[in-house]
Amino acid sequence: MTKPDFELEQALLDRGHCRIAGVDEVGRGPLAGPVVAAAVILNPQAIPEGLNDSKKLTARRRAALDAEIRHSAEFAVAEASVAEIDEINILRASHLAMLRAVEALTPAPDFLLIDGNMIPRGLKTPSQAVVKGDARSVSIAAASILAKNWRDQVMVDLAQQHPGYGWETNAGYPSKQHKEALQNLGVTPHHRRSFKPVHNILYQE
């Protein structure tokens, strides 16, 4: 199984770029909670060992790497809210979160490696979309780790306010427990009303 490496970044460094940020988002699929993006500029001399797609790491390993990334790299994390997701759709909202994360990096990056096959509208920085980027680029993998840890903690915090949906374990994804709680407990302000399972409960005949 291949792991992400520094090849894409090194090629850009060789071309004269010096502040290369990996960008990734987490949380397109859940029925509740914000979508979160992170942008990370790794220090080539201090790349944490074991960076990988956040989904392939245990929670303990993600937490350890999260701390290492925050210690050794430049980073920013940003959100797009449930209201924004419902207003502009999840794809545009995830791109909005990416834009916010990139704009929060100071000094600004001079090149972006973006997970996926689309470059968000409105990005002024030269960019490359990288399909399955979190499995190819350590910078994107680092961004995926920060974004996932941040979002998981948001959902743990929201679970304290709205018990019964299992957000502390399912992070707002449509697990059996979550879908049953939607039927039995109803829709919270943190649910995405534009998502079909939530919409159908709100507008049952």
Scored b (16 or more CB within 10 A) or e, 4-42 reads: bebebbeebeeeeeebbbbbbbbbeebbbbbbbbbbbbb
Beta strands in 42-89 (DSSP E): 74-80
Residue 84 marked ligand-binding? no
Between helices 138-161 and 59-72, what is the axis angle to 10°?
Answer: 120
Distances (CA, A) of 36 to 29, 87, 182, 205: 12, 16, 23, 34
The amino acid that residue 6 corresponds to is F
| Residue 132, both tokens | 């399955």
Residue 103 marked ligand-binding? no
Residue 115 marked ligand-binding? yes
DSSP state of 119: P
Residue positions in the annotated binding site? 24-25, 115
Residue positions in the annotated binding site for a divalent metal cation? 24-25, 115
